[in-house]
């Protein structure tokens, strides 16, 4: 389909070579020599792009622009002017122009402006596809080598980069290829965790930075030179953080951004309690039995985060004034934002924000949320939309205005599950779809990462014969009874507790106010 151009300039005859050049490139050009005629032409027929001279007799280019936009708000308009006066530029840009050119212009400048305005998404798509094709080969070679813990973090960072990059292009072919490559990466990563996790937690091999030592290793040193805010966004995946980071960058400079490792199970009861306690789950259960809730306990399993952090601060020799807030609904978030000034007298403020976790659960339970977050891209987009309109956004802004350092992390991520795996257990077996613990579990060993003795993984042991098994990749556990119902109900939902890149590799970010 031929692109139609309207070009208005009071010296249009002098621009005949430019018009002939564009027509030789396959464009159709309608030329006029004043603003009024430009408005009439725009009203009588549709153009793909309009070039307007700013200084014309009769109505000016800016006046013509306003009239054209009133009738044709979506047509891209390029303003051309001899003037470099700032107020003219500002008025034109404020009127939502597509581009701004200073005379004299040459034909190639006009051609570039057309391509930039009309073909940018196509050109970006082509460039992104070709760039990923090169990266695909390099990532494939990496996945076929023996990656260490830091290299896995780097691979995941690259995969997330391309996921977000490919979200914005029209061609879905490369997204399908990336999805296949990520699936392969998850298979290899699950083997890597299965082979190394027990050695890490038992000190047989040096492990990565993990969630249970994160406060001691990374956050505690900041208490010497700053009074940080620490924000734990429950269930925040690394790709969700990368989507949110441009908003944070309005107020903060990112001084450090790392990928760290959660613990198993990658579930709130275990990982977040371990963050606050600075201990592994079995150590918490042994040292603070009244603050640890077993799988079969009623109510919240994270009731004592404040007490666990208080004990950790004392163990670290920190006699500081600090606060703890857990936000689980909109009203609590608004109240914290309204009372923000009261936090500024503290040496440390810890805030747990539960929305992302609630979003993943709501997506399972509510059809409307499942439709809004139908895939990974929509899930990321919904997270951004929530944040932009949440009280947390206000708190972040106020935190930056107060000059306080901000540290952001999470306890675990979440993965979209697609492959059901049969398991059989006693009635007392826990209900989580990504890990099971109990006695007499029956499953195919090749389907799971098995921890026969929970104490080997520093997990509480409810009975002498209890064990833990973890789902890998995009698997989820389903009982044979009423199998098809639960496969359909839980398939394509976001779950956590098992082993995947998305669950285990989580963000740790330090931000400094601008």
Per-residue pLDDT tens digits for 68-126: 988 888 888 998 887 666 665 666 556 578 888 888 889 988 998 888 888 765 655 56
* Angle, vertex CA 277, rays to CA 276 and CA 279, nearest 5: 130
Mapped onto helix, strand or coil, the DSSP state of residue 147 is coil
Does residue 363 register a pLDDT over 60? no
pLDDT band (50, 70, 90) for residue 394: very high
Mean pLDDT, all residues of the chain: 89
Residue 45 has pLDDT above 80, yes or no: yes
DSSP code per residue over 282-343? HHHHHH-GGG---TT-SS-S-TTHHHHHHHHHHHTT----EEEEEE-SHHHHHHHHHTGGGG
CATH of 211-414+503-513, one of 3.50.50.60, 3.40.50.300, 2.115.10.20, 3.40.720.10: 3.40.720.10
pLDDT attached to residue 280: 98
User: What is the structure's pLDDT at 88?
Assistant: 59
178-192, 232-246, 290-304, 432-446: least confident range: 290-304
Tell me the DSSP string of 67-126: HHHHH-TTS-EEEEES---HHHHHHHHHTT-SEEEESS--HHHHHHHHHHHHSHHHHHHH
At residue 367, the pLDDT reads: 59
Chain-centroid distance of CA 58 in Å reads: 51
Cα dihedral value 433, 435, 437, 442, nearest 10:
80
Q: Is pLDDT at 151 greater than 70 in this prediction?
A: yes
pLDDT greater than 80 at residue 417: yes
Domain 4-118 and domain 211-414+503-513 have a common topology: no
SS (H, E, C) 168-181: CCCCCHHHHHHHHH
Inform me whether the pLDDT recorded for 172 exceeds 70.
no
Furthest C-alpha separation in the chain:
93
> Considering only CA atoms, which of 34, 26, 69, 40 is closest in space to residue 52?
34
Domain limits of the chain? 4-118, 121-201, 211-414+503-513, 416-495
The band of 177, judged by pLDDT with boundaries at 50, 70 and 90, is confident
- Percent of the chain with pLDDT strictly greater than 70: 90
Q: Which of the four pLDDT bands, split at 50, 70 and 90, describes residue 60?
A: confident
Q: Residues 6 or more apart from 82 whose CB is under 8 A from it?
A: 54, 55, 102, 103
Instruction: With a cut of 70, say whether residue 11 has pLDDT above it.
Output: yes
Mean pLDDT of 376-389: 87
pLDDT in tens, 184-195: 999 999 999 999
Q: What is the CATH architecture assignment of 4-118?
A: 3-Layer(aba) Sandwich (3.40)
Torsion of CA 262, 264, 270, 272, to 10 degrees: 10
Query: 471 or 179: which carries more pLDDT confidence?
Result: 471
pLDDT of residue 137: 78
pLDDT band at 457 (very low <50, low <70, confident <90, very high): very high
Q: What is the Cα Rg of the chain in Å?
A: 29
The model's pLDDT over 247-272, given as tens digits with 9 standing for 90+, comes to 999 999 999 999 999 999 999 999 99
Mean pLDDT, residues 473-498: 91
If you average pLDDT over residues 309-326, what whole number do you get? 96
Count CB neighbours of 71 within 10 A.
10
User: What's the burial of 493, exposed, middle or buried (CB within 10 Å: 0-12/13-18/19+)?
Assistant: buried
* Residue 432: DSSP 8-state: -
Read off the pLDDT of each residue in 359-385 and give the average, rounded to a whole number.
69
Give residue 139's pLDDT.
83
pTM: 0.79
Report the alpha-carbon distance of residue 104 to residue 353 in Å, rounded: 55
Look at residue 128 in the predicted model and tell me its pLDDT. 65
Which helix (DSSP H) or strand (DSSP E) does residue 398 occupy? helix 391-401
d(CA 357, CA 237): 10
pLDDT band at 372 (very low <50, low <70, confident <90, very high): low
Q: Does the pLDDT at position 434 exceed 80?
A: yes
């Amino acid at each position: 389909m031929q692109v139609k151009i309207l070009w208005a300039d009071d010296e249009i005859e002098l621009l005949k070579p430019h018009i002939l050049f564009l027509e030789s490139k396959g464009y159709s050009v309608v030329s006029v020599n004043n603003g009024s005629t430009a408005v009439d032409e725009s009203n009588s027929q549709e153009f793909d792009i309009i070039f307007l001279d700013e200084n014309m007799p009769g109505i000016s280019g800016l006046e013509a622009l306003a009239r054209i936009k009133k009738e044709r708000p979506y047509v891209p308009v390029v303003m051309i002017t001899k003037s470099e006066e700032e107020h003219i530029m500002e008025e034109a840009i404020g009127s939502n122009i597509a581009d701004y050119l200073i005379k004299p212009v040459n034909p190639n400048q006009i051609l570039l402006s057309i391509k930039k305005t009309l073909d940018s998404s196509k050109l970006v798509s082509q460039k992104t596809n070709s760039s990923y094709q090169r990266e695909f080969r390099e990532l494939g070679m990496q996945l076929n080598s023996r990656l260490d813990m830091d290299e896995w973090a780097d691979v995941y960072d690259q995969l997330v980069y391309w996921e977000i990059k490919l979200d914005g292009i029209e061609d879905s072919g490369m997204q399908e290829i990336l999805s296949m490559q990520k699936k392969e990466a998850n298979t290899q990563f699950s083997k890597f965790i299965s082979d190394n996790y027990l050695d890490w937690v038992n000190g047989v091999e040096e492990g990565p930075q993990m969630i249970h030592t994160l406060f001691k290793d990374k956050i505690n040193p900041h208490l010497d030179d700053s009074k940080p805010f620490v924000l734990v966004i429950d269930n925040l995946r690394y790709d969700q953080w990368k989507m949110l980071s441009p908003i944070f960058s309005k107020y903060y400079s990112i001084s450090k951004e790392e990928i760290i490792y959660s613990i198993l199970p990658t579930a709130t009861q275990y990982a977040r309690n371990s963050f606050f306690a600075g201990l592994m789950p079995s150590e918490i259960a042994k040292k603070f039995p009244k603050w640890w809730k077993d799988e079969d306990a009623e109510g919240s399993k994270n009731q004592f985060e404040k007490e666990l952090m208080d004990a950790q601060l004392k163990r670290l020799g920190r006699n500081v004034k600090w606060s703890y807030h857990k936000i689980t609904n909109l009203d609590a978030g608004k109240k914290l934002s309204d009372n923000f000034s009261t936090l500024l007298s503290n040496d440390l403020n810890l805030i747990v924000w539960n929305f992302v976790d609630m979003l993943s659960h709501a997506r399972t339970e509510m059809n409307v949320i499942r439709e809004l977050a139908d895939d990974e891209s929509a899930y990321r987009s919904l997270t951004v939309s929530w944040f932009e309109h949440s009280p947390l956004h206000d708190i972040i802004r106020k935190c930056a205005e107060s000059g306080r350092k901000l540290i952001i992390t999470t306890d675990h991520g979440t993965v979209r599950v697609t492959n059901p795996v049969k398991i059989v257990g006693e009635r007392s077996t826990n209900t989580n779809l990504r890990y099971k613990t109990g006695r007499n579990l029956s499953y195919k060993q090749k389907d799971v990462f098995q921890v026969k003795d929970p104490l080997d993984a520093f997990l509480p042991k409810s009975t002498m014969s209890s064990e833990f098994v973890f789902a890998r990749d995009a698997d989820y556990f389903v009982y044979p009874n009423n199998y098809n119902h639960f496969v359909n109900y839980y398939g394509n939902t976001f779950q956590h507790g098992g082993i995947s890149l998305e669950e285990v590799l989580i963000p740790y970010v330090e931000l400094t106010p601008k």
